[in-house]
Structure 1
Amino acid sequence: MSSIAWGAAAQSLPQQSDSGAAIPEIIVTAQRSAAPESKTPVAMSVLGGADLEKAGLDTAGDLGARLPNVYLQESFDGLRIAIRGVSNADVTEKGDPSAAFMVDGVYLARPQSQTVSFYDVERIEVLRGPQGTLYGRNTTAGVVNVISKAPAPYFEGNANATVGSYGTRNAGAMVNVPVNDMLALRAAVTANRHDAYLRNGQGTPYTLGLDRDDRAARLSAKFSPGHGVTALVRYDAGRDDTNNDSAVPDANFYSGIASGKPVWNDDSTSRRLTNRFRAPNSVPEQGYSRKKTANLTAELAWDLGPATVSWLGAHRHFEHDYLYNFYYRVAPTVALGTRNDFHADYAQDSHELRIATNGSGPLNAQAGVYWFHEKATALYDFRDLQPVGLTPYYVFDSDPVDARSKAVFGQATYAIAPRLRATAGARYTEDDKSRYGYIGYQQKAAFNPATDLRELNAGAISSHKTTWRLGLDYDLSPATLLYGSVSTGYKAGGFNDGCVSGASQVVAGSTVTCPAASGVPADTLVYRPETVRAWEAGLKTRFWDGRASLNLAAFHYDYRNLQLSAETVVNGRPRYETTNAGEAAVRGLEADGQVRATAHDRVTYAFTLLDAHYTSYMPDSLHSWAGVKLDRAPGRTLALGYEHGFDLAGGVLTAGASTRASAAYLLSVPTQQLQFRVPGHTESDLRLGWEPLGGRWSLQARVRNLENEVRPLTISASGLTVPSAPRTADMRLDYRF
């Protein structure tokens, strides 16, 4: 396994055998301007495109266990991101994440569209901690930014193919063409498939999920007409046809759930990955998920000498259809089968105009304005819930859900002394959300006013916040940076399903009301913004003639109104509800780096300590969760990786291994007072690569999750549990031209 096992090193292992083995510097844009990673006063991990390809990490979920204090986990309902114990589970069209996921600097609002394939990637920057000043709202936990390769002024191309276990078959290609001195074009494509990891033990002929079937393409153009003007335009489109039935009952991992005290069981990996649930009320159908994306991004920069003016604009369209067969626990010892049909259409537009100073003077400043708009239509219907008193079709129809955000921001760094710099920044954000829709109680899929009922399901909320950052950084030596900061973050408030008794609204041309029997208190329909104040101190250093590195970060967060989401029952009817969890505290220590003993030997390491817990939280009116750990917050983790290159006749054989050991952590369902403890575990990877000297091709063989142990990634209030991947093996061939 390459050094990206713990992200501090994002460059490929050198092939030359000279005595120098200095760690190459990485240029990042974490502070929205290009700077060496070792001189950027932010806790971050950088994953280089070459090492991503070596290790076969081509989705966000692949990265989750390979970054300090970061979990990126792909669930049936989208990507879940947790950084330093902070995450959010509301992946519906009205929800927001706690960590922003970006592609080429553009925020992706929907977690379902964040399960993208990585291809032709320059690097991935993962910033830990609130980034409310330069990146804005919904970054209380941090930022993940995937940066694609831009067209270059020279000709190059490559092609790759991968085969492996579970029927893995992947292929990709790229070509870069300089048309003339001003214009360069780049095209990249990818296609990826593997069979399901899950097994069907339900007695039906249908296949289950944790499979893969996606393809995507990107065309980029870079135009440099002179006079300091540069334009970069990217268009990409993709399709994903995986199976959405990617969960098993929580009983595959735990016993004693009915008693309210789940205990880890001793099932084998094979049994954990087998869905044996047979619903007493319904017969499953073949599950599916069909996603289509089309995205246009444009960047324009004009270097005016003292400053550069830049604009980043994007339009993204995402369409999603699926059929999902739910495992739905309605009582401690009773579970139903529920078929869920879904269709949604999302369109988002964003624009950012920014001006930043140039030059090497004592002042480095930037300021800008930001605008975002997302419009979504979504239709859910749930079947087979007649045993709980509902109609054959229980429908949620929203048209539209509208989210708007605008902000103004600025940040400046001033050199107080030759080695001492001070930073101050602030951002003011306004957010507006609304929904027009209804909840339908229907006999069939189509609404019939003669037999069916509708009740209002609409909401609106506005919120605003000023976030800020103050920091100092000091060069202890030319190779050592010491920094400290205090910063704040903000996540917009929102609304829940339901209505206030007597309310009415015109939806789809007709008036829909809220019957008295369905009404809920107005204060339960909205939840407040989530905020955080974070103190952080860190050190980044290179030593041993630049052949070793150490990154240290110590942090303390105070969270207010932490947003938690789960299924719940309101007036006897299932709903998805978000509440504010009072207060939480997060503190910890991170250390990571690498050592290059020779040009062919590289060791990577990372160690984390984390204490993330509620300080004030009452899931109900009876129980206090003060002191209970936040989800996905192991007290300690340790990761080690080693890679060695052997000079053989005609080439270099590279062997690598990495392992990560994690202490136990929790996955909780507060609405049911359930705490699922995931035991401590290790996960190890192996890699063997061959590259001939001066050759155009290379070969990689990889094994991931050598232990072949699986764990729950997510557990819903209804008992749906998404497992991690079992042991997999593959071989990749690359050819460059």
Structure 2
Amino acid sequence: MQHHRGNPTLLAVLAAAACANAAHAQVADGQLQEVVVTAQRTTSLESKTPVAMSVLSGEALREAGFGTPAELAKRLPNVHLDGAADGLRITIRGMSNSDATDKGDPSAAFMLDGIYIARPQNQNGLLLDVDRIEVLRGPQGTLYGRNTTAGVVHVISRAPTRALEGAFGVEAGNFRSRKANGMLNVPITGWLALRAAVAVDRHNAYLRNGQGTPHTPGQDAGRRAARLSARVALGPAASLLLRADHARNDYNPDSFVSDNNFFRHADSGKPEWYGAAARDRLTNRFVPRNVVPEQGWGRNRSAGAGAEFTWNLGPATLHYLGAHRKFDLDFLTNYIYRVAPQATLGVRQNFTGGQRQDSHELRVATSGDGALSAQAGLYWFDERSHSNYVFRDLAPIGLTPYYAFPTDPTVAKSRAAFGQLAYRVTGRLRATAGLRHTEDEKSRVGATSFQQGPAFNPATDFQLPNAARIETDKRTWRLGLDYDLAPSAFLPATFVYGTLSTGYKAGGFNDGCLAGPACPAAAAVAPGYLFYRPETLKALELGAKTRFWHRRASLDAAAFMYDYTNLQLSGNAIIAGAPRFITTNAGIASVRGLELDGKVQASADDRFSYGLTLLDAHYVSYTPDGVHSWNGRKLDRSPSHVLTAGYQRRVRLAGHEVRAGVDARRSAAYMIGVPSKLVQYRVPAMATVDATLAWRPDDAPWTLAAYAHNLGNRIAPATIDSFGMAVPGAPRVVGVRFDYRYQ
């Protein structure tokens, strides 16, 4: 089909134009402009913040044509953001998580305006009226809490201002992509300002149907999102920011193909990568012998309301941040279900579920520029979920016709107290110490149901209880030193830092129950199988942030060493005659690496970006099945090196401005592991190229732009699960966009 090849004329124009990377830094008098961040929960310059981090501005996202978090990874060193079938999969410095169920936890926290978003299915929505995205690499347990052993992805939206302004944009591209967005900011009075934003994103399926059915395949989108914000001035010293948002996505969850689309001998457990055209990678040719697939469908709904209160008390400022969020998901999907070598079934699954979460944080931070600065706070989180998975079509291998996993409720609670001090020892040297104590509680009431039909019948069916409760707690801490090196004839202005910190990810449980009144002895499982322990780490990081050549060039460098204990790994397996999703602890893992990235403003019209990451992330002690050793094997999505380069050129022609450029990324080979099957899939080295082109007449309020992602149309699997289902990455995507802004 022609739309899979994109628009050759447009692609040729874009490639010839050599378009730019969407970097957040802008030019001010020929210099790279400083970027203000809140990575340490206080306002600071990125170049003076002792954290390895990347910042992408909302303007940069718009110029690059990025609409969801899964599209950002090519701009982020040592980061994978994959749009998996079950939500956003975040991997930072080789650390990831594949448990997207209501009992699982991520290794990297995803936050929206300071609010922790617990479920990955609720993380890959539209980037709506974004001010910036801060991606923090490395454990952030002191200020951001549990489940941040890998880092933090923080999306920060624009707040109402005192200026009357508005904007709208429309976009069209291949795969019948249609996008639109709008924003209106209105100062109502001197004490009240309102801001509204909306966005729509629709495109046809990236996948092709090779199954011989009339059904539409997946990797489509039907997203809509809206947000209303109000800023209220409560006198000269206090303010209240209120936000309410709603989003939905009507889509097809059949977003996978067989791993045979990428690897030979995958059925036998010895996968070998082979070359193929993008069209072949994206075609689902699996034809099950046991069932006729149905048309897949999915409905995703999310909504939230939050409040942020700030009160300047003079020597200190009081901050409150709270939110209530809800998420509902219903779908029907057709699985590829390999139960044994050369034996693969089609399995249909219905799912219905929902989640509600409440969070509150009260924090006090000192004001002023004294030698001592401090912040301390209390945090409270409560999440309640219900769900029902119903699998069918396993009868041909002698299993029950229907398996159901009803759960109501699954509860996750977290309580924490934290504080961090920073003391300026001299005018240039500062010491930091932070501590957080976290208590987590998880529980679940549910069952594994063996059924003859879609609904449970007590006369013919039976259930095994899935009921467990676990409490874990941990103190995480952070010690740091940073120093401002004065510029000299031999050394430019440089900020250096060193941190020693710990991280913690809560423990949890698998399917089953312990023997007791509610759990018959015949259904009971051993505690060692039912529970898995918290994941912890110790991390050492040394970094430097340099601005040189009269602040026209930058270099950020970070070297890090992690030692993980009880790394949590998840996968599917058939246990006691039922498919189950289990998590185990992987003993010890080691992560070592180096990151270099920077920019060069070669002239007022030319800007370069560059990056190099080196990574050694491997298991030190791990036997997935208790027999076979994986010691020394690489962790998932941890290429030994990645190179990035970008170039942006601005040309002025008779009252017009044209911006063009290119961004390239080459990743070394990496692994995607399935420990429950003792299989690792090796994805070979691969390069991708993006391009953008924009034109605007001088003083015009509008811009016409074009972009192309993945010019070479290289397709790699984003995820591969225990049953041989692979989710392909996005193909070549091109689009043309018109933006208008009033202010």
Q: When the two structures are superposed, what TM-score results if normalisation uses the length of structure 1?
A: 0.96
Q: Bigger CA drift: 643-652 or 481-490?
A: 643-652
Query: Partner of 1:547 in structure 2?
Result: 552
Query: Partner of 2:396 in structure 1?
Result: 387
CA contact 1:5–1:641 (8 Å) conserved in 2:
yes
User: 2:303 aligned with 1:287, yes or no?
Assistant: no
User: 2:496 aligned with 1:491, yes or no?
Assistant: no
CA contact 2:334–2:347 (8 Å) conserved in 1:
yes
How far has the Cα of 1:340 moved from its partner? 0.6
> What per-residue deviation string (whole Å, max 9, x for no partner) do you get for residues 592-637 of structure 1?
0100011211101110000000000011122111100000000000
Query: Partner of 1:272 in structure 2?
Result: 281
Distance across 2 between alignment mates of 1:81 and 1:354: 28
User: Which runs of structure 2 are paired with 1:51-66 in the superposition (5 Å)?
Assistant: 51-66=60-75
User: 2:439 aligned with 1:430, yes or no?
Assistant: yes
CA contact 2:130–2:157 (8 Å) conserved in 1:
yes
Distance across 2 between alignment mates of 1:676 and 1:5: 33
How far has the Cα of 1:572 moved from its partner? 2.8
CA contact 1:248–1:721 (8 Å) conserved in 2:
yes
Q: SS of 1:175's equivalent?
A: strand
Query: Partner of 2:89 in structure 1?
Result: 80
Distance across 2 between alignment mates of 1:211 and 1:489: 37
Query: Partner of 1:17 in structure 2?
Result: none
Query: Partner of 2:33 in structure 1?
Result: 24
How far has the Cα of 1:499 moved from its partner? 2.6
CA contact 2:19–2:649 (8 Å) conserved in 1:
no
Distance across 1 between alignment mates of 2:25 and 2:550: 18
User: 2:51 aligned with 1:37, yes or no?
Assistant: no
Q: CA RMSD in A?
A: 1.5
CA contact 2:21–2:648 (8 Å) conserved in 1:
no
Q: SS of 1:30's equivalent?
A: coil
Q: SS of 2:628's equivalent?
A: coil
* Alignment-mate amino acid for residue 483 of structure 1: Y
* Alignment-mate amino acid for residue 638 of structure 1: L
CA contact 1:12–1:51 (8 Å) conserved in 2:
no
Distance across 1 between alignment mates of 2:318 and 2:157: 22
Query: Partner of 2:577 in structure 1?
Result: 572
CA contact 1:316–1:348 (8 Å) conserved in 2:
yes
Q: SS of 1:231's equivalent?
A: strand
CA contact 1:49–1:120 (8 Å) conserved in 2:
yes
Distance across 2 between alignment mates of 1:246 and 1:13: 41
Query: Partner of 2:359 in structure 1?
Result: 350
User: 2:705 aligned with 1:700, yes or no?
Assistant: yes
In the superposition, relative to structure 1, how do residues 254 and 290 fare at CA in structure 2: closer, same or farther (>3 Å)?
same
Q: SS of 1:418's equivalent?
A: coil
Distance across 2 between alignment mates of 1:231 and 1:697: 33
Distance across 2 between alignment mates of 1:663 and 1:455: 45
How far has the Cα of 1:270 moved from its partner? 0.6
How far has the Cα of 1:515 moved from its partner? 6.0
Distance across 2 between alignment mates of 1:3 and 1:232: 42
Query: Partner of 1:686 in structure 2?
Result: 691
Query: Partner of 1:611 in structure 2?
Result: 616
Query: Partner of 2:727 in structure 1?
Result: 722
Distance across 1 between alignment mates of 2:576 and 2:384: 30
* Alignment-mate amino acid for residue 663 of structure 2: S
1:137 aligned to which of 146, 162, 165:
146
Distance across 2 between alignment mates of 1:725 and 1:464: 40
* Alignment-mate amino acid for residue 661 of structure 1: R
Distance across 1 between alignment mates of 2:421 and 2:81: 32
Distance across 2 between alignment mates of 1:727 and 1:211: 14
User: Which runs of structure 2 are paired with 1:358-373 in the superposition (5 Å)?
Assistant: 358-373=367-382
Q: What number of residue pairs does the alignment pair up?
A: 722
* Alignment-mate amino acid for residue 496 of structure 1: N
Q: SS of 2:59's equivalent?
A: helix
> What per-residue deviation string (whole Å, max 9, x for no partner) do you get for residues 7-44 of structure 1?
8x414567xxxxx3111111100000111111100000
Distance across 2 between alignment mates of 1:175 and 1:344: 34
CA contact 2:182–2:199 (8 Å) conserved in 1:
yes
* Alignment-mate amino acid for residue 65 of structure 2: G
What runs of 5+ residues in structure 1 fail to find an aligned partner? 15-19, 506-512
Distance across 2 between alignment mates of 1:36 and 1:330: 53
Q: Bigger CA drift: 88-97 or 65-74?
A: 65-74
Query: Partner of 1:525 in structure 2?
Result: 530
How far has the Cα of 1:438 moved from its partner? 1.1
Query: Partner of 1:662 in structure 2?
Result: 667
User: 2:240 aligned with 1:252, yes or no?
Assistant: no
2:387 aligned to which of 378, 393, 399:
378
1:229 aligned to which of 238, 241, 259:
238
How far has the Cα of 1:260 moved from its partner? 2.5
* Alignment-mate amino acid for residue 624 of structure 2: P
Distance across 1 between alignment mates of 2:251 and 2:551: 45
Distance across 2 between alignment mates of 1:100 and 1:6: 26
Q: SS of 1:52's equivalent?
A: helix
Distance across 2 between alignment mates of 1:661 and 1:344: 39
* Alignment-mate amino acid for residue 76 of structure 2: L
* Alignment-mate amino acid for residue 703 of structure 1: A
Q: SS of 2:141's equivalent?
A: coil
Distance across 2 between alignment mates of 1:22 and 1:539: 19
* Alignment-mate amino acid for residue 537 of structure 1: L
How far has the Cα of 1:267 moved from its partner? 2.2
Q: SS of 2:142's equivalent?
A: coil
Q: SS of 2:253's equivalent?
A: coil
Q: Bigger CA drift: 430-439 or 478-487?
A: 478-487
User: 2:24 aligned with 1:10, yes or no?
Assistant: yes
User: 2:568 aligned with 1:563, yes or no?
Assistant: yes
Query: Partner of 1:474 in structure 2?
Result: 483
How far has the Cα of 1:423 moved from its partner? 0.1
Distance across 2 between alignment mates of 1:6 and 1:385: 49
1:599 aligned to which of 598, 601, 604:
604
Distance across 1 between alignment mates of 2:268 and 2:623: 20
What runs of 5+ residues in structure 2 fail to find an aligned partner? 1-13, 488-492
Query: Partner of 1:409 in structure 2?
Result: 418
1:216 aligned to which of 216, 221, 225:
225
CA contact 1:284–1:337 (8 Å) conserved in 2:
yes
> What per-residue deviation string (whole Å, max 9, x for no partner) do you get for residues 345-370 of structure 1?
10000000000001011011100000
How far has the Cα of 1:387 moved from its partner? 2.1
2:271 aligned to which of 238, 262, 265:
262
CA contact 1:308–1:356 (8 Å) conserved in 2:
yes
Distance across 1 between alignment mates of 2:708 and 2:87: 26
How far has the Cα of 1:455 moved from its partner? 1.4
User: Which runs of structure 2 are paired with 1:292-307 in the superposition (5 Å)?
Assistant: 292-307=301-316
Distance across 1 between alignment mates of 2:382 and 2:334: 32
User: 2:597 aligned with 1:588, yes or no?
Assistant: no
Distance across 2 between alignment mates of 1:524 and 1:389: 25
CA contact 2:27–2:33 (8 Å) conserved in 1:
no
User: 2:636 aligned with 1:631, yes or no?
Assistant: yes
Q: Bigger CA drift: 112-121 or 255-264?
A: 255-264
User: 2:247 aligned with 1:238, yes or no?
Assistant: yes
Query: Partner of 1:313 in structure 2?
Result: 322
User: Which runs of structure 2 are paired with 1:166-181 in the superposition (5 Å)?
Assistant: 166-181=175-190
Q: SS of 2:70's equivalent?
A: helix
CA contact 2:20–2:661 (8 Å) conserved in 1:
no
CA contact 1:6–1:68 (8 Å) conserved in 2:
no
Distance across 1 between alignment mates of 2:25 and 2:198: 23
In the superposition, relative to structure 1, how do residues 4 and 652 fare at CA in structure 2: closer, same or farther (>3 Å)?
closer
Q: Bigger CA drift: 61-70 or 677-686?
A: 61-70
> What per-residue deviation string (whole Å, max 9, x for no partner) do you get for residues 245-281 of structure 1?
0000101100112333210022221111000111111
CA contact 1:5–1:67 (8 Å) conserved in 2:
no
CA contact 2:399–2:577 (8 Å) conserved in 1:
no
Q: SS of 1:367's equivalent?
A: strand
Query: Partner of 1:508 in structure 2?
Result: none
Q: SS of 1:54's equivalent?
A: helix
Query: Share of identical aligned residues, percent?
Result: 55
